[in-house]
Amino acid sequence: MTLYTLYAMNKYVFGIVVFVTLFSAHGFAQQSQTLTLEQSIEIAKQNSPLSRAARFSLISAKWRYKSFRADLLPGLTLSGDAPNYNKSIFSNTLDDGTITFSSRTQSEASMALSVNQNIMPTGGVLSVSSGITKLGIFAGENTYLWQSTPLVASFRQPLFQFNSLKWRNRIEPLRYQIAKKQFVEDMEDLAFTVTQSFFDFLLAKINVEVAEFNVTVNDSIYNISRGRFQVGSIAENDLLQSELQYRNAETSLTTARLNFQRAEENFKALLGIDDGIEIEVLPPAEAPELNVDADKALELALKNNSTSLQFRLNEIMANQSFAQAKREAGFSATLQTSYGLNQTSADFDRLYDDPQNRQFFTIGFEIPIFNWGKNTAEIRAARNQQAETANTIAYEKLQFDLSIRSTVREFSQLRDQVELAQISDDIAERRYDVAKNRYLIGKIDVTNLFIAQNEKDAARRSYIQAMRNYWTGYYNLRRLTLYNFEENVPIEYSTDF
């Protein structure tokens, strides 16, 4: 089975198998684990701190949306005061105008149960409640009075005011949709980041191998040069050049090992792998040929990417600010009305006998007359903010379109670059072998040998870099479109957690 076939397998199941292999019940085995790029990505999606952060972000968004949905449903509230004890001195004016002071000691305990329902289309609130109050007067002989409200229906309706609940009903579901799409994007961002780190680690590993090889070879060349110099077949300059190349190879090896250690630590941290596990990475065997149409990629990005939804959310929020500024600058009123039953009694057993009607109706209003142009300024500021948002969205849409098309154009050329780099790597390897053999038989000088060696090393690094560019370009295209171009299906992740 080829690597390309493995890559086309079910990613989730494959990742679980790899994860269990690495973190089995036997603990973290002190052995080398060989990982492909696809395996590394699946491990990161299961175990990376970044994947866990993405899940927690989506869970948080889910609960915020549930909180909003709860605001649309009836709410049951129990309220009360107890014992509400009060002892004070107060003034009392008699019929002849004389003012006397009296003291009073009383307590007033109450409890009420209410059901409240927000009315989204109008912004009003309907409530039904029932309550009871006990008044205790402590003066000489204690007196207790009871008051009951068996049932009271109330309605509060703002008039000509900003309806925040109605706007939230447009904004909150959209925010939750964005959060779900952003979770998929976060996981694809992680795949993109893992790909970069994978090839950084691979390139660091190859640099160590190249440096170790160069130290061995240059040591041999230096010893050969010393022998030839002693018999007078080469000049001292060639001897010094071979020694300098040998010393530089040793320095490069030290630097390569330090860079490798840093790249390995970063790679393990990204995948969530214990530092005690030794990791080997296996480069992709090939770069699959994928033909991606720019128009299709743009269509997919506009459909799947959260950016288009974010554009819509920004537009709605700008419209909300403008609507709020207009409402708050004009005439506003509030209608409040209630109807129910109540009764009072000194005897609790008779508290609910023959309850009396309880009615309340009022309209409160507020009319701004003069405030030094504040309302006009707020409206104009919101209007210009709305226009700014519209123009910003138009520009960002254009930039987004250009980014998608540019990414597709670049990706279509990356596979050709991989093939060319692989050919160059093979040619440089063969040229170096020829140059080394010719140097050993004295057909070329050491300068030409070192030129071939440097070209061999550069070609090897260029090939790995070309592979890196291809695979990072591929996962960049995936995260922009949220589409799997190999299987021709949208990229989806389970959100049941």
DSSP code for 355: P
CA gap 167, 322 in Å, rounded: 12
Specify the 3-state DSSP secondary structure of 195. helix
∠ Cα 48 33 10 (to 5°) = 60
What residues contact 401, with CB distance under 8 A and at least 6 apart?
298
Joined together, the tokens standing for residue 363 give: 């309209």
CA gap 187, 44 in Å, rounded: 9
pLDDT at 31: 61
Domains of the chain and CATH, by start: 3-67+169-315+387-490 (1.20.1600.10), 77-119+124-162+332-367 (no CATH)
Phi, psi of 60 (to 5 degrees): -60, -45
Task: Give the dihedral of Cα atoms 364, 370, 373, 376; nearest 10 deg.
Answer: 30
pLDDT at 311: 93
352 CA to centre of own chain = 58
Specify the 3-state DSSP secondary structure of 455. helix
User: Amino acid letter at 360?
Assistant: F
Pairing of strands 278-281, 32-35: parallel
Pairing of strands 483-484, 356-366: unpaired
CA gap 137, 51 in Å, rounded: 64
Check whether the bond before 83 is cis (ω within 30° of 0): yes
| Element counts in the chain: helices (H) and strands (E) | 10, 11
Helices (H), 305-355: 306-329
Show the low-confidence residues of the chain (pLDDT under 70).
1-31, 140, 360
DSSP code for 352: T
pTM recorded for the entire structure: 0.79
